Chains A and B, each alone.
Chain A
Amino acid sequence: MVMNPVPEQPLLAVRGVTLQYKTKDHLVTATYRVDFDVQRSDRFILLGPSGCGKSTLLKAVGGYMKPIEGEIRLKGEAVTRPGPDRMMVFQEFDQLLPWRTVKENVMFPLRATGRLPRKVALEKAMEYIAKVNLTGFADNYPHTLSGGMKQRVAIARGMAMEPDILLMDEPFAALDALTRRKMQDELLQLWEGTKFTILFVTHSIPEAVRIGNRILLLSPHPGQVKAELNSDGTDAEDASGRRLSDRIHTMLFSEREIEPEAAHV
């Protein structure tokens, strides 16, 4: 395996980021001084149990909240607010605009940001809809699609914008196990085609091992970096004969004995 030299400036640099948010009667520290770098074409996974602040971290990268300490830089520019250079795919099925067809949903950000004229935007939208195998449904309204199809539209919409980085917040978590498995394969195929950069949040170890090439492990309450690991998608055994998923499992759950979590695939 040939290692590419690490470039001077990462695509996304997260430096000492502490995030806090207020609930009704608490000030919660979600993450504490988290550092990591995402390089171009990474499939970078944020993995951790619930309460490790991974989704909050993703929101911060998305520009929806400001760190109280540290900074987040995309291509050297500090992130201050949401923008179409960091397209987000959410977990919820209701992220598509119900008043627009599949085609219009994918076109919408292209048009709303004034990036492309109508005709070009339409062509580009159809190109990405074809990539997620939904050409036959381009004129359907979202409420007529299944959950997996909606997520595919959301991914097509994110990719059509050709953002610097695609942020995915547990996009397959609400899908059934069979569909989820299929979507993971499709995402990897899409990545093979365009080599876009993904920042992917999940709480499923098998999903992280399958999708990611680099996995950041976070510990809970508050989220702190525990490890950063490489993955080749096959859950390979290391020199000592342990599978990657076992190593992750031990690292995440070593301190306390935790009832085995239902296996997500």
Chain B
Amino acid sequence: MSSPPLTRPEYVREQVEEHDFGVVNKPLTAWERIYGNAALRKVCILVILAAIWQVYATHLDNSLIFPTFTDTMKAFLGRMASGELVKKSWTSIKVLLQGYALGMALALVITMLAMATRIGNDLLETLTAMFNPLPAIALLPVALIWFGLGNGSIIFVLVHAVMWPIALATHSGFMGVSNTLRMVGRNYGLGGFAYVRRILIPAAFPSILSGLKIGWAFAWRTLIAAELVFGTSSGSGGLGWFIYENKNVLDIPAVFAGLFTVIFIGLLVENLIFRTIEMRTVRRWGMHS
């Protein structure tokens, strides 16, 4: 037997009043607040990248190979002001949105089918395994034969580019919904589309959103590539056509301005649209991983 534990006196303490504390909370310094702003940090990165571009291009001094940032900006602003770039961008975006919306709807339909039946599940798995790795642009020649020279074939290719990644992400999101949430939904007597809309889609929203982002990126790439390959469809043409045209006349700053527009729209969509959706949904709900 070890010796008995020492007996110690008990005690009770009074709590210190709030105003006696040194610091409970104090405002951050200006620098801490600036550094804490994600948008500002990102702008900073963009400025540094532009500066590197400018220095390198000035050093190279060959506007046929690599125009400077300022030349590109001049071309960009000039073409924007003349309305040419605005019009071309709009042509591209219009087609893009049609293909994107259609692809999204089809993805939802096929995923719901996959959730409803086992054979639908097999179908989705097989089809995504077949078509997801297939570059959409490879279907363009066939699409041209089927749908002719027009927006129809571009939209077909876009749907193909968008549908599979979104379907894949949505499906894996649905599969990952916790069993408790499923049981909760069924407890309320929800079934069919109401169940998908009110339980599965919100619960799987983090995956769905990342699928939508990937789909958006694929759609952009495919669209620009398609326009580069077969150019104008309805007279005016889009951004890809703009790039192609200006390369032919060796107006390289304008080519860069075209590329810049693609990047610019990409940044805008990511930071304004997707980011807003994310803030309003996944982050607010505490579901981001």
A binding-site residues for B, Cβ under 8 Å: 62, 64, 81-84, 86-88, 90, 92, 94-95, 97-99, 108-109, 112-113, 141-144
Contacts and interface: CB of A to CB of B under 8 A. Distances in A.
Contacts of A92: 178, 180
Interface string B254-287: 0000000000000000000000000001001111
30 contacts: A62-B183, A64-B183, A81-B186, A82-B187, A83-B189, A84-B188, A86-B187, A88-B183, A88-B184, A88-B187, A90-B180, A94-B180, A95-B180, A95-B184, A97-B184, A98-B203, A98-B285, A98-B286, A98-B287, A99-B203, A99-B281, A99-B285, A108-B188, A113-B188, A141-B284, A141-B285, A142-B286, A143-B285, A143-B286, A144-B286
Contacts of A141: 284-286
B289 to A, nearest CB: 12
Interface string B180-200: 110110111110001000110
Interface residues of B, number: 21
B205 interface: yes
Contacts of A94: 178, 180-181
A64 B180 CA distance: 12
A92 B183 CA distance: 12
Contacts of A88: 183-184, 187
B187 A62 contact: yes
A212 B85 CA distance: 74
Interface of B: 178, 180-181, 183-184, 186-190, 194, 198-199, 202-203, 205, 281, 284-287
A99 B202 contact: yes
A261 B246 CA distance: 80
A88 B188 CA distance: 10
A144 B287 CA distance: 11
A95 B202 CA distance: 14
B202 A97 contact: yes
Contacts of B199: 97
Nearest to B198: A112
A42 B190 CA distance: 28
A254 to B, nearest CB: 34
B23 to A, nearest CB: 25
B180 A82 contact: no
Given A99-B202, A99-B281, A113 B189 contact: yes
Contact of A90 (B184, B194, B281, B287): B184
B25 to A, nearest CB: 19
Contacts of A90: 180, 183-184
A108 B197 CA distance: 13
The listed residue with most B CB atoms (<10 A of its CB), out of A62, A94, A142, is: A94
Nearest to A161: B188
A92 B177 CA distance: 14
A64 B179 CA distance: 12
A97 B202 CA distance: 9
Contacts of A108: 188, 198
The listed residue with most A CB atoms (<10 A of its CB), out of B178, B183, B184, B286, is: B184
Contacts of A84: 187-189
Contacts of B287: 98-99, 143
A95 B178 CA distance: 9
A112 B178 contact: no
Q: 3 tightest CB-CB pairs across the interface, nearest first?
A: A143-B286, A99-B202, A82-B186
A216 B201 CA distance: 40
Nearest to A109: B188
B66 to A, nearest CB: 48
A87 B199 CA distance: 17
A113 B189 CA distance: 7
Contacts of A82: 183, 186-187, 189
A61 to B, nearest CB: 12
